[in-house]
Amino acid sequence: MAVRRLALHMVLPRTASTAGLMVVLAMIMLGTTMPTAVYATYQREFGFSLLTVTIIYATYAVGVLVALLALGTWSDVLGRRPLLLGGIGCAIASDVVFLLADDTAMLLVGRLVSGLSAGVFVGTASVAIIEMAPRHLAARAPLMASMANIGGLGLGPVTAAMLITWFPTPTRTPYAVHLGLMVIAALIVFAVPETRPRDRDTPVRLTVMPLSVPAEVRPVFVRAAILGFAGFAVLGLITAVTPTLAATVVGVHSVIGVAFLVFAVFAGSIVGQNLGRRLDARPADAVAIALFVVGMGLLVATVHIGRWEVLAAAAAISGMGQGIAFARGLAGIAAAAPAATKAAVTSAYFVVIYVGISLPVVAEGVLSNAIGIRTASEVFAAAVVVMAVVAGALGVAADRRGTPSPAGGRP
């Protein structure tokens, strides 16, 4: 009996701490997509175009990339908690900028700082969740981390849409609420144990993250990165331009209706992540590629027939493909990376996928201004399909060479 009580005492804190870190990661990511529901209001008040929307959106990704590159290795040196608290501090600063924003320049600053918060947080928190998970949850920990990430991203537009529909000052209320959530997040981070304590006997050497991946991880990394890039390009497109597609192509003008169209891609992603863990690695890649092809086909159909149901299906199916690719990629990289470089390699993966969430979205905005949103969406869909097929070809080549599959198959 005494042994059972001791075991229970040891498991519960780790289980509760893992859940707490997942909640904090979700709350941070929720704040990064809240502005999606407010873009239409900003467009009316500040008078900018779809291209400006995509630039504002991509500015967030620039902040993520800067933080990942500058700080991606720091939590391996300083420990996880200092970086997590730094990410929360950036999120608070972003909320304050948005609360004060009265022009487009302030929105760009707010999105940049929001990106810094996500960049500081997402790689470190994902690794901390994997490290914190008790033994009986260890195999599911990468999935839990990616679900917290994507779940928070999906809840952001819906939460903001409800707040700006039911409460006054739509350009202020979401950020005031998120400020309150960040106070809770900081308390949770202080409460959970440190998973990688700093070695006080080792001199602190803080460096910019090198853009390199250990040789033993590269076969897994390259395939995961290409599919991850394609999947996050889809997330970026749907999150950034769905308000415009909804208003100009499918005739949805309700803020909450648009938010749920955006949520469809994230809901699909969560389903895909759960599906991905039930598939072996290589079949999972094939399913993800097939879903990307079908989803992009439906996106092209949307711009021709103008039905919101087809847009929702395109988002959900593409999101499922993204979820499978992201969960399998994160799991494979976490399993293959050496312990001493785990956070750095994970951050490198996030660098690739956040390039995917930024550059293609800006390209979509530029093309939309030049050739119209319908033709631009067709070009974007074709590019995603090409990337998915390239990843599939790399997988076939790896099979012929006998390269180990990501995460060694099913977790």
Q: Pick the most confident of 184-198, 306-320, 363-377.
A: 306-320
What the chain holds in terms of domains, given with CATH numbers, is 13-194+213-408 (1.20.1250.20)
Q: Answer for the pair 327, 277: CB distance below 8 angstroms, yes or no.
A: yes
User: Mean per-residue pLDDT for 283-299?
Assistant: 89
pLDDT at 408: 44
> Residue 361: which pLDDT band, with cuts at 50, 70 and 90?
confident
Per-residue model confidence (pLDDT) at position 10? 40
Using the CB atoms, write b or e for 148-185: b if 16+ within 10 Å: bbbbbbbbbbbbbbebbeeeeebbbbbbebbbebbeeb
More confident residue, 26 or 49: 26
Q: What is the pLDDT of residues 326-343, one digit of tens each?
A: 878 877 777 777 776 776
Q: Residue 335, Cβ neighbours under 10 Å: how many?
A: 18
As separate numbers, helices (DSSP H) first and strands (DSSP E) second, the chain gives 15, 0
pLDDT at 255 over 50: yes
Task: Indicate if the pLDDT at residue 364 is higher than 50.
Answer: yes
pLDDT of res. 89: 94
Burial class (CB in 10 A: 0-12, 13-18, 19+), 89: middle
Q: Which residue has the higher pLDDT, 293 or 338?
A: 293
- Quick one: pLDDT band at residue 114, thresholds 50, 70, 90? very high
**What is the arithmetic mean of pLDDT over 69-85?**
76
What is the rounded distance in angstroms from the CA atom of residue 370 to the CA atom of residue 278? 43
Banded pLDDT at 262 (limits 50, 70, 90): confident
Of the candidates 191, 274, 199, the residue with the CA atom closest to the CA atom of residue 18: 191
193 in Cβ contact with 13 (< 8 Å): yes
Please list, in sequence order, all residues whose beta carbon lies within 8 angstroms of the beta carbon of residue 202, skipping any fewer than 6 positions away.
Answer: none
Task: Give pairs for 212-215: CB < 8 Å, separation 24+.
Answer: 212/348, 213/345, 213/348, 214/337, 214/338, 214/341, 214/345
Copy the structure tokens of residue 56: 């504002």
pLDDT of residue 223: 79
Distance of CA 395 to the CA centre of its chain: 24
Provide, rounded to the nearest whole percent, the portion of the chain with pLDDT above 90: 18
Tokens, residue 280: 């072996």
Tokens of 31: 């704040």
Return the percentage of the chain with pLDDT > 70, whole number. Answer: 86
Regarding predicted confidence, which is higher, 63 or 331? 63
Q: Say whether pLDDT at 182 is over 90.
A: yes
250 or 182: which carries more pLDDT confidence? Answer: 182
